[in-house]
């Protein structure tokens, strides 16, 4: 297999690429047969010329590198190689929680209450560590806790990843502009409506994740994203006890408290949530059972992808790391995904568009999966355009001023290029076919007339 050298790493295989960054499975080698596999995320060339984007990228690396915890995916390294900034992340052998829940739903199953309690305790521990200032570091608010940013390993370990839009606790509790970033169904109302946040904002998002894991559906899903936000603001959702009647009452009560619309009605912090879930702490066998579940789903997913989409999957998995793609800037009125820079409002007729909420993401998430999950990650990844044309601009969905004045949410959907229009037939060919049709009709008519005359004679 061919590899591409990138500083201290060998880029073995491209995992995915979006509008602003691309990720690779990479290997770092050392003396004595030392070998470490990591996920290398590097900025696309065009955005290297954007000082604000590079600044935000380095801030993401700085914040994430300070968070050393057993339930937070680690930043191994970050730096610059030949003018290209990169971030090397721990490679987790498993799948994200979003994939796990989806695969279970496909089989008519859910996580068990003890497994949900395990996920809740581990993620609460990760948030408690992140929110609490430590030596030489500030506490940070994640602002995008969602199933796609939770990784579950084949050993049943739980990791919170992607602190790309995190902000320091105390240093900033409101965004610089009226643009907030994240996934709508998991947004706390104070963040979505007023662009304010603190640790309780992350706890709300965690509560939505746990509700979905235990109840089999998200609590606030509406017909549109605006409808979803209005349900979030009102706290309108089916009672979790009706969806999971066999779940322990303390677990249901804790999750219901997490998703209350008023921050003061939630737990005061992640430590308080840990205390509430402590009596439900599952035995060690539950983690093992969760790992077995992930391994089984990984193998079935790999087989399914091999049988259903062998060409595309195999090409993405086996192709050598490509050269840098060429891109250009998005439209001037489109905000970047990792910048809080203000942008001009859209046209008056622009409404709140409905998109797949799982794809509304603040920036290109790295793909820290094992080999069996790389196929799925790459199948859903945005493909790089083969020409010098840039990727199409992000889709943004401004909120109506009557519902939520002054706030807009950047909803970022798939960035796949549109299908090329069908080629139009040439005018000369159309004319020739028309003439041929007329001549055929005349000849047929003349032949019929001659036959009739012959029969009469």
Catalytic residues: 144
CA gap 163, 79 in Å, rounded: 17
**DSSP for 233-252, written as a single string:** HHT----HHHH-TTS-HHHH
Buried b (16+ CB within 10 A) or exposed e, 186-206: bbbbbbbbbbebbbbbbbbbb
CA gap 434, 437 in Å, rounded: 5
CA gap 258, 422 in Å, rounded: 51
CA gap 173, 201 in Å, rounded: 11
Burial category of 120 from C-beta neighbours within 10 Å (exposed 0-12, middle 13-18, buried 19 and up): buried
User: Of the candidates 55, 95, 101, 92, which has an alpha carbon nearest to the alpha carbon of residue 71?
Assistant: 92
Partners of 88 in the beta sheet? 40, 77
Q: Are 169 and 157 in contact (CB under 8 A)?
A: no
Distances (CA, A) of 433 to 423, 436, 440, 443: 17, 5, 11, 15
Identify each DSSP E strand in 31-82 by its residue range: 34-43, 75-81
CA gap 121, 287 in Å, rounded: 12
CA gap 66, 61 in Å, rounded: 9
Element (H, E) at 23: strand 21-30
């Amino acid at each position: 297999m061919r590899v591409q050298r990138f500083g201290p790493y060998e880029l073995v295989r491209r995992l995915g690429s979006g509008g602003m960054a691309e990720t690779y499975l990479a290997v770092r080698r050392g003396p004595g047969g030392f070998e470490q596999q990591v996920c290398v995320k590097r900025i696309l060339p065009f955005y290297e010329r954007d000082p604000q984007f590079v600044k935000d990228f380095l801030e993401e690396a700085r914040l994430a590198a300070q968070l050393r915890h057993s339930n937070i995916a680690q930043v191994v390294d970050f730096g610059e190689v030949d003018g290209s900034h990169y971030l090397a992340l721990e490679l987790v052998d498993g799948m994200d929680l979003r994939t796990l829940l989806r695969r279970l739903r496909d089989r008519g199953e859910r996580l068990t209450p003890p497994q949900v309690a395990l996920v809740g305790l581990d993620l609460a521990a990760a948030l408690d560590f992140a929110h609490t200032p430590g030596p030489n570091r500030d506490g940070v608010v994640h602002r995008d806790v969602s199933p796609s940013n939770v990784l579950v390993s084949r050993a049943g370990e739980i990791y919170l990843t992607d602190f790309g839009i995190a902000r320091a606790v105390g240093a900033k509790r409101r965004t610089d502009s009226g643009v907030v970033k994240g996934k709508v169904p998991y947004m706390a109302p104070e963040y979505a409506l007023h662009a304010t946040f603190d640790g309780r904002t992350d706890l709300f998002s965690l509560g939505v994740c746990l509700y979905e894991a235990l109840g089999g559906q998200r609590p606030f899903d509406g017909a549109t994203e605006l409808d979803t936000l209005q349900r979030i603001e009102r706290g309108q959702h089916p009672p979790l006890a009706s969806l999971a009647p066999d779940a322990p009452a303390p677990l249901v009560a804790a999750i219901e408290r997490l998703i209350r619309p008023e921050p003061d009605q939630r737990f005061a912090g992640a430590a308080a949530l840990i205390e509430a879930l402590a009596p439900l702490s599952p035995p060690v066998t539950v983690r093992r059972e969760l790992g077995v579940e992930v391994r089984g789903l990984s193998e079935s997913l790999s087989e399914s992808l091999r049988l259903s989409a062998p060409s595309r999957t195999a090409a993405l998995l086996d192709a050598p790391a490509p050269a840098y793609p060429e891109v250009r800037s998005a439209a001037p009125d489109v905000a970047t995904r990792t910048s809080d820079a203000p942008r001009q409002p859209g046209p008056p007729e622009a409404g709140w568009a409905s998109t797949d909420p799982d794809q509304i993401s603040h920036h290109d998430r790295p793909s820290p999966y094992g080999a069996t999950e790389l196929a799925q990650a790459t199948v859903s990844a945005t493909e790089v355009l083969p020409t010098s044309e840039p990727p199409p601009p992000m889709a943004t969905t401004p909120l109506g001023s009557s519902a939520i004045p002054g706030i807009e949410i950047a909803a970022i959907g798939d960035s796949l290029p549109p299908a090329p229009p069908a080629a139009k037939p040439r005018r000369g060919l159309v004319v020739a076919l028309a003439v041929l049709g007329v001549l055929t009709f005349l000849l047929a008519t003349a032949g019929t007339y001659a036959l009739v005359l012959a029969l009469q004679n």
